[in-house]
Every structure is written in structure tokens, then in C-alpha cells.
Structure 1
Amino acid sequence: MNDLFFTLSKILTLFIFPFPLFFLLSFVSILFVRGFRPKLILSILIFFLGIFSNFFVANTLIRSLEKPYPPVSIEAVPPSEAVIVLGGMVQTISSIPGRPELNDSSDRLVDAVRIYKKGKAKKILFTGGSGVLFADKYREADLALQVMTDLGVPKEDILIERDSKNTYENALFTSRILAAEGIKETILVTSAFHFRRAAACFRKQRVQFYSFPTDFKSLSTDSAAFDLWIPSPGYLEISTMAIKEWIGILAYEFKGYL
């Protein structure tokens, strides 16, 4: 009985949740639209949205960025002077001002603390200001500092870079702090899908680092999970993330940042 209830609860989401319901109503609406051209235009728009909210398309896009950077165990990481962690996991425009709220890229910060606590780095250098246009009252590095100290990292072992607005500035401003502190050997931590651009930026600034990709977004294609076949705003977000990253890589190459 419980299995039947679980199965029905999953199937009924097609008729309750906004995103799959949108597709069902859209397909029905096509039947009532008159004229070949309006039907075609509506079908193309629905198809376009459906493609990028499809698991297999989203997974392929994000895997194209993650595949060159497989996970690394902390045990395999060589001892270094500092672990550099790129921002992107702390919400700076939360409805609760000043309270650190972590998003789904929090693995970056968690893994940086784990690396530090395993004795693989003497310091943590967090780089990240505010990447939100016209909203820089709260800096990500300041909020991350609260989280790290609450997790038991001594304040004297934390360096923060709070002025950068993008990955290029992360690398540029961090390289200046490293030079001032006399730090040469580092571990670079950021999301796997973002590692190609981040690594190239830091190499451009002549920062020596050991790569530690984290926050993997791709899922197993071997799963037969029912949810994988249903259009999802989560998959659309992953597709958008991957497309944005590829555009960022191309733009940075054009600007000479890489």
C-alpha cells in the first residue's frame, strides 16, 4: 500500500507542480490554437523550453565542463600554505540582512574548511565581494568569515578578499594578497563546472595551485529514476548555468583574461 501511495504521489506531481503542469497545459492549448503559423510558433517555444529543462540535455551540458576535472580526495592533496576558495555560495541579498545563507554551491566553503582541518593548508583565503549589480551592501567574504569562524577556524588563519566582482578579479586581487603574505603554494577550490575558467584566470596571474574541484552538478545517467524524464526548473537552471559558463569562457578569452 505504501509503495502504491509513493508511486501515485510521484505521478500526480505532473498535475500539481507548476512547471510540468505548464507543459501539459501548453500541449493542450496547441490543439485549440487556429492556424498553422501560430501552432508552429507556440510549438517551437514550448520545444525550446522543454529541451533545456530536460535532464539529459542539462546533464550533457554541465558534464562538458565537469568531465576534465574529476573529484580529488583530500588525502591526495599535498600540504600547502593556503587553500583558496572562490565565492558564489553565500547569499548577499537575503531577506534576513547580515545572516549568512548558503546556496547549493556551499560545497566550496565546506571543502575548504575540511582541507584546512585535515592539516593540508595553514590558512584559508576566501575571495568574493558582491557580484550582484547595484547591491553591494553586504560582501560575500564578510559573511563567509562568520561561517568559517563558527565552524572552528581561527580568525587569524583566515584571509579575505572582499572587493572582487567576478572570476577575473578573484584571481587578480587574490594574487596581490598572496604576494603580500609571501604565500606561494596553494590549493584552489571552486565548483567543477567553473574550474576551467577559474584555473585559467589564476594561471594568468601566475598563482601556483593544486586543483580541488567540488560541487559537482551532474547526475548518474544509469539511474532509471522517474523524475529524470519530467521537465524540471532544476534541469533548466543547470542548463542555464552551463551555457552561462561557456559564454563566460569565450568572453574571457576575447578579453585576454585567460
Structure 2
Amino acid sequence: MKFVEGRKNKILVSLPILFLLFFSSFPVAQFLIRTLESEFPPVRIEEVPESDVIVVLGGAINPMTYYPERVEILSAGDRMTESVLLFRNRKAPLLLFTGGSGVLFQQKVSESDSARKFFLDFGVPEDFLLIEGISRNTKENAIETAKILRENGLNKIILVTSAFHMKRSLGVFQKEGLEVFPFPTDYRALRIDVNWDTIIPSVGALDTSTIALKEWIGIMAYKLKGFM
């Protein structure tokens, strides 16, 4: 009996370690992220139709930085730079940033102030810039953005977010009745070259797996709730 219990305990202890090693594998991480990104391949600027507004989702700026006078760009910073590129190529006369605080206990800290500074610093005139700073998640991004657009008689948007996040984002923005052209950025998929770097489990691979799993859970939750 003690032997059986001992084996059960060993299995229970080993399972979390095995899961950790599995999702820390480069091939596994790349497979998971590609299931999200492959649906939205890169779009060239010249292929983007003219629209009413370029809408860029938050999640690209660190609002918790110790030096708030500096805009600290995160790994999803392509969202910001690509939206400026779209604006400079006159794909829409307005640029709207949507994103408040996604930090549960830090609601006074918002990305919106840093986003405004970023866009102004990169040459977007203030008269052509709209900032939505109260939304806390993707669903609220869509709701608050739709309110602003309806107030201004606008409906056709270019939606800019990370490729892995586009499926859920596109669904909720279309649910609000908006005409959406997806412009994915911030691709995480990499070419797989079998070597020691890809065979040995890594923190980077675990991070990619975590992003993909979190996004798939978000998609399933949004579908169950009827958000998309």
C-alpha cells in the first residue's frame, strides 16, 4: 500500500515538471503560436484600403515604468510603430489608441498618457489623434472605441494589434457592427532550425507557449460569453 501511494506521489510531483518541460520546448511553443498567427499573414501597406480610422490596441507600452517621463515600449511595440506608418501613408485621417489599465489593482495607471506622448513625438498631429483610456480588456476596447466612432459618424477601421491577438480582436470589433480591416503585427513565429538552442527547454519558449495558451483560453471564453 505504501509502495502504491509512493508511486502516486511521485507521479503527482512529476506531472507539473513534465508539463513545464513540454511547454518550454521550442517546437511546441512555435506550433502553438502558429495556430493563432497563420490565419493572419502579414499585409503590405499598399494592400491596405483607405478607412475612416486606424485603431491600435493597447498592450504595447509599460505604464508601470519607474520613469514615466519616458515612453517604455514592450515586445508588442510593433503595434505602435506600424500604426504610425499607416497614418503617414494616409490610410486613414485619424488614429485612435484604445487601452486604459489592464492591471487589476493599479487602475490609476494607464497606457493612454504614454500613448499620446508616443504618437505626438512621432509626428501625429494632436488634431488627428483620438485616445480612449478607460477600457481594461479587448471587449471593452471594442465597446469604447465603437462609442467614440458612432459619436463621430465613423464606421470603417483598420485594426492594428499583434497577430496572435487578431482573431479575438477582430471578432469583438465586428460584433460591435464595425467594418474592420485587420492589420496584424508583432509576429512571434520563428523558423525552426534543429540545434541545441531549439532542443533544450527555454524560458523564451515557455513565454511563447504561455502567450498562445492564454489567447486560446481568451478566445474560448469570449465565444462562450457571446462576445464574438
Class of the TM-score when normalised by the shorter of the 2 chains: over 0.9
State yes or no: 1:256 paired with 2:214.
no
Q: Which residue of 2 aligns with 1:211?
A: 182
Matches within 5 A, 1:149-168: 149-168=120-139
Q: Which residue of 1 aligns with 2:68?
A: 97
Instruction: Pick one of 190, 213, 220 that aligns with 1:243.
Output: 213
Matches within 5 A, 1:24-103: 36=7, 39-103=10-74
Instruction: Return the letter of the residue paired with 2:142.
Output: A
**Pairwise CA distance, 1:251:** 1.0
Aligned mates of 2:183, 2:159 — CA distance in 1: 6
State yes or no: 1:124 paired with 2:95.
yes
Instruction: Return the letter of the residue paired with 2:64.
Output: I
Instruction: Pick one of 125, 133, 141 that aligns with 1:170.
Output: 141
Tell me the SS of whatever aligns to 1:198: helix
Question: Radius of gyration: which is bigger?
Answer: 1
**Pairwise CA distance, 1:228:** 1.5
Regions of 4+ moved over 3 Å:
35-43
Instruction: Return the letter of the residue paired with 1:228.
Output: T
**Pairwise CA distance, 1:110:** 0.7
Which structure has more relative contact order (CA 8 Å, sep 6+)? It is 2
**Pairwise CA distance, 1:53:** 0.7
Instruction: Return the letter of the residue paired with 1:244.
Output: K
**Pairwise CA distance, 1:147:** 0.5
Instruction: Return the letter of the residue paired with 2:62.
Output: Q
> What CA deviation, in whole Å up to 9, does each residue of 1:135-167 have, x standing for no partner?
022211221110111011111111011010000
State yes or no: 1:199 paired with 2:170.
yes
Instruction: Return the letter of the residue paired with 1:192.
Output: A
Tell me the TM-score normalised to structure 1 length: 0.82
After superposing the two structures, state which structure 1 stretch, 137-146 or 170-179, moved more: 137-146
Instruction: Pick one of 105, 119, 141 that aligns with 1:134.
Output: 105
> What CA deviation, in whole Å up to 9, does each residue of 1:26-59 have, x standing for no partner?
xxxxxxxxx6555544433322110011111111
Tell me the SS of whatever aligns to 2:52: strand
Unaligned 5+ runs, structure 1: 1-34
Aligned mates of 1:113, 1:97 — CA distance in 2: 21
Question: RMSD value over aligned CA atoms?
Answer: 1.5
Sequence identity percentage: 46
Aligned mates of 2:172, 2:7 — CA distance in 1: 50
Instruction: Pick one of 200, 203, 227 that aligns with 1:230.
Output: 200
Instruction: Return the letter of the residue paired with 2:190.
Output: L
